[in-house]
A and B are shown apart, each in its own frame.
Chain A
Amino acid sequence: MVNIIVAGILFVIATVFGTAGIVGLFIFPDAYTRLHAGSLASTTAVFTIFLACLFVVSDWHFLARIVVIMLFFVVSAPTGSHVVAQLLWCSGIIPWKQKRKESK
């Protein structure tokens, strides 16, 4: 019973973070800001889903496989985002800036 409650709370957290990331992917104006919002969905939400799946399953071989996937995911997902950001910056794309309001 306890593990169902914990998994439900983790699912709710993942839904909040992931929905925020996907909405940000659509309303932000620039590739850099979209990357910032989307990393929220692709790293935080997916990692929370993995944590929740640890409470859902009960067999040892499931747990071991999920832990291995988590370990590799922790290394690979932020590295992928970093590679994208470095590629965009090195290829000379200029970040978006808010236009200054007219002086008072």
Chain B
Amino acid sequence: MEILLQGMIIIFLVWIIACVVRLLIGPTVADRLVALNILSGLVLGLLVLLGAQKRSSLFLDVALVYDIFGFLGFIAISKILEKHLKSYTANEE
């Protein structure tokens, strides 16, 4: 069981690194936004896996608060970026 959890944590780390690469090289603002959305979900899964591996409920409390604040913060970011994206696409055409 321990080796299953350890392997799954390593797989999650690889996915998170791939997502960060997409976040850094994303050619447009939209790609970075998509990568940020996916990154938030993957980090949540990693926190729950760590809590199950270390048998510590502290990680699960952190995961719940991270989920709530990540969702609210993401909506705020997308609200701010709305104007920026509109001017960006208008300049492109």
Contacts and interface: CB of A to CB of B under 8 A. Distances in A.
B78 A83 contact: yes
A11 B84 CA distance: 40
A50 B47 CA distance: 11
B44 A91 contact: no
Contacts of A2: none
A44 to B, nearest CB: 10
A80 to B, nearest CB: 5
Contacts of B30: 31, 88, 93
Given A57-B52, A65-B64, A84-B37, A26 B18 contact: yes
Interface in B2-29: 4-5, 7-8, 11, 15, 18-19, 22, 28
A77 B85 CA distance: 22
Interface of A: 4, 7-8, 11, 14-15, 18-19, 21-22, 25-26, 31, 34-35, 38-39, 41-43, 45-46, 49-50, 53, 56-57, 61-62, 65-66, 68-69, 72-73, 76-77, 79-81, 83-84, 87-88, 90-93
7 contacts: A4-B4, A46-B45, A61-B57, A62-B57, A73-B67, A80-B37, A87-B81
A41 B1 CA distance: 23
Contact of B74 (A38, A50, A57, A80): A80
A24 B74 CA distance: 22
A8 B4 contact: yes
Contacts of B88: 91
B28 to A, nearest CB: 7
B44 A62 contact: no
